[in-house]
Amino acid sequence: MWWRDGIIYQIYPRSYQDSNEDGIGDLPGITQKLDYLKELDIDAIWLSPIYPSPDVDYGYDVADYVAIDPKFGNLEEFDILIEQAHQRGIHIILDLVLNHTSDQHQWFIQSRSSRDNPFRDWYIWRDAAAGGGEPNNWQSAFGGNGWEWDANTNQYYFHMFYKEQPDLNWQNPSVQNAILNVVEFWLKRGVDGFRLDVFNAFFKSQTFKNNPFKLGRRGFEQQHHIYDINQPELIDWLQKFRALLDSYPQRYSVGESFEATPETAALYVGEKLLHATFDFSFLKNRFNPSGFYHSIQRWENALEGRGWPNYVMNNHDVIRSASRYTRNENDARLKILAAMHLTLRGTPYLYYGEEIGMRDIRINKRKQVLDPIGKRYWPFYKGRDGCRSPMQWDDSLFAGFSSRQSWLPVNENFQWRNVESQKKDPDSLFNFYKQLIHLRKTIPALQRGMYLPLTFDPRRLLAYMRKLEDETVLVALNFSRRKVSLMVSTSILHQKWQLLFSNSREEMPDFRDRKITLAPYEVLLLSSD
């Protein structure tokens, strides 16, 4: 299965490649770069939202589910992208933002026009509480109360995110059917899969009870989300969604579980549910083996007997791993993370530019911020602009992304950190990714083998094996800048091992004193069959 054995690559469309020189990336630009993705041996592209949008939340406020935003192109250019990608064996995954729409969507324009409009019940409308005020204590994840007063019809509507993003009423069967029609529209155009944005927030309790209090930093985090997330009705709709996907060959679904533990996220994975869900534990870990070891164990245990894991080091909402884990331009730590990411049991998701170690751009002044949540919480939180800067293709002006000023600044390190320069350097992070991806594609145990933990040192060492039938791969990762020793058991000692890969040696290590000594930041893979 392509989604199980392959590599999925997230593209933030406005930042990948500008084909018409307006400073914004677009679909033809992505099409121009398909050969690059083929060279990297990517199996699928996940496109962040490309639908018409007022861009209050940069595409996550959708004004039309069955069209392309003109700044990105049109349906004909989308069809060309699909055709050209498929010719190269690359699949296309669309981001579906279904919890809410833009307030500029025709559904909501109709809904708020009057209380007796046929679309009124497509959104969550409530009278004020007795004595006035919001219907309950539900909060917006972006800050403040989740209810917005509509003076035209004298009711509140609910929005889990910005007030310009009203939540759909998923308890309404008409909404559920309309969304399935949207899914089928894209399936018929050849889309291979979907990423469901905050899918476990689709349904809200019809009791509209207050969420109970818990300790937290701000309003949304000070509630146990009992009544506005993870409602039981979701399972039935996911089964309908999966049945529709399964009526087309080799389609895929992955869900972004919102405010969820690994155990909760795993509940929505199964033969009649989603193919996969995300666990974002890696995004919160420090650079030490202990955190990653425990995250892997917890995710493996949660999914046991249910489904296939996936792992994410970066996405469009968090500081890039290169900025989280490094303080300079040295990529030694990033190679450790890449090796772990690409040798675990599960589908690796890469974020554009991760393969060349792109860093966040610096945001020093509030007037530089475009992300509304960054403007709201400045200077305590600077928003998500930093991780969304243009792809760094070469050392020309604007990094080969465009010939004019880009919508966000290009990182100032683009002259030496770019695709073209790294292609020429055999020791670059880009070529390291190519080598590890090639190994993953050619060694069945690295694709489908069991994950068997060996040991970890809280600050220095992580070691595990991948095993498929008679084939075993031992992975040892030194997270430190000093040598570290891996003690091996008698059973491992007596196996016949070959050097599969190392970034520090060319010969098999000896097992003197039943241990392997790893060089600083060494990635070591041994194979036995």
Write phi, then psi, for 457 (nearest 5 degrees): -105, 130
- Where does 375-468 show beta strands of DSSP type E? 450-457, 461-468
Taking the CA atoms of residue 379, residue 383, residue 388 and residue 390 in that order, the dihedral angle to the nearest 10 degrees is: -40
- 334, 429 Cβ separation under 8 angstroms: yes
Least confident of 37-51, 117-131, 359-373: 359-373
* pLDDT, mean of residues 398-403: 97
**Residue 380: band (very low, low, confident or very high) from pLDDT cuts 50, 70, 90:** confident
Chain segment 78-98, per-residue pLDDT in tens: 999 999 999 999 999 999 999
- Burial 442-459, CB ≥16 within 10 A → b, else e: ebebbbebebeebebbee
Residue type, 294: H
Whole-angstrom distance, CA of residue 242 vs CA of residue 231 = 18
396 CB-near residues (< 8 Å, 6+ apart) = none
Q: Quick one: pLDDT at residue 291? A: 96
Q: Tokens in use for 306?
A: 């249910």
Task: Decide if 2-101+173-438 and 106-158 have a common fold.
Answer: no
Residue 464 has pLDDT above 90, yes or no: yes
From residue 119, give the alpha-carbon distance in Å to each of 53, 124, 145, 150, 316. Answer: 20, 11, 24, 15, 32
Superfamily of structural domain 106-158: Oligo-1,6-glucosidase; Domain 2 (3.90.400.10)
Q: Quick one: pLDDT at residue 511? A: 82
From residue 493, give the alpha-carbon distance in Å to each of 110, 309, 347, 488, 511. Answer: 71, 30, 30, 6, 7
Chain segment 133-146, per-residue pLDDT in tens: 999 999 999 999 99
- Please indicate whether residue 434 or residue 510 has the higher confidence score (pLDDT): 434
Residue 232 has pLDDT above 90, yes or no: yes
Q: Quick one: pLDDT at residue 217? A: 86
* pLDDT, mean of residues 157-171: 99
* pLDDT, mean of residues 402-431: 98
Residue type, 467: K
Q: Quick one: pLDDT at residue 201? A: 98
Residue 43 has pLDDT above 90, yes or no: yes
* pLDDT, mean of residues 198-211: 98
Q: Quick one: pLDDT at residue 440? A: 98
Instruction: Return the biggest CA–CA distance within the chain.
Output: 81
Across-strand partners of 46? 10, 93
Whole-angstrom distance, CA of residue 306 vs CA of residue 362 = 42
* pLDDT, mean of residues 196-225: 96
From residue 45, give the alpha-carbon distance in Å to each of 6, 11, 98, 257, 380. Answer: 11, 7, 20, 20, 33
**Residue 494: band (very low, low, confident or very high) from pLDDT cuts 50, 70, 90:** confident
Residues of the chain with pLDDT > 70: what percent?
100
Which of the residues are catalytic? 197, 256
**Residue 110: band (very low, low, confident or very high) from pLDDT cuts 50, 70, 90:** very high
Q: Quick one: pLDDT at residue 513? A: 81
Residue 453 has pLDDT above 90, yes or no: yes
Q: Quick one: pLDDT at residue 255? A: 98
Domain locations in the chain as residue ranges:
2-101+173-438, 106-158, 449-528
Classified by CATH at the fold level, domain 2-101+173-438 comes out as TIM Barrel (3.20.20)
Classified by CATH at the fold level, domain 449-528 comes out as Immunoglobulin-like (2.60.40)
Residue 510 has pLDDT above 90, yes or no: no
Residue 259 has pLDDT above 90, yes or no: no
**Residue 389: band (very low, low, confident or very high) from pLDDT cuts 50, 70, 90:** very high
For all residues of the chain together, what is the average pLDDT?
97
Task: Tell if the pTM clears 0.75, that is, is over it.
Answer: yes
438 CB neighbour count, 10 Å cutoff: 13
Place of tokens 């928003």: 383
**Residue 35: band (very low, low, confident or very high) from pLDDT cuts 50, 70, 90:** very high
Q: Quick one: pLDDT at residue 67? A: 99
Q: What spatial distance separates the first Cα and last Cα of the chain, rounded to whole Å?
A: 24
Query: What DSSP string runs through 75-133?
Result: HHHHHHHHHHHHHTT-EEEEEE--SB--TTSHHHHHHTT-TTSTTGGGB-EEPPPTTSS
231 CB neighbour count, 10 Å cutoff: 18
**Residue 3: band (very low, low, confident or very high) from pLDDT cuts 50, 70, 90:** very high
Chain segment 247-256, per-residue pLDDT in tens: 999 999 999 9
- Cβ burial of 158 (10 Å; 0-12, 13-18, 19+) is buried
Whole-angstrom distance, CA of residue 140 vs CA of residue 137 = 10
Chain segment 301-333, per-residue pLDDT in tens: 999 999 999 999 999 999 999 999 998 899 999
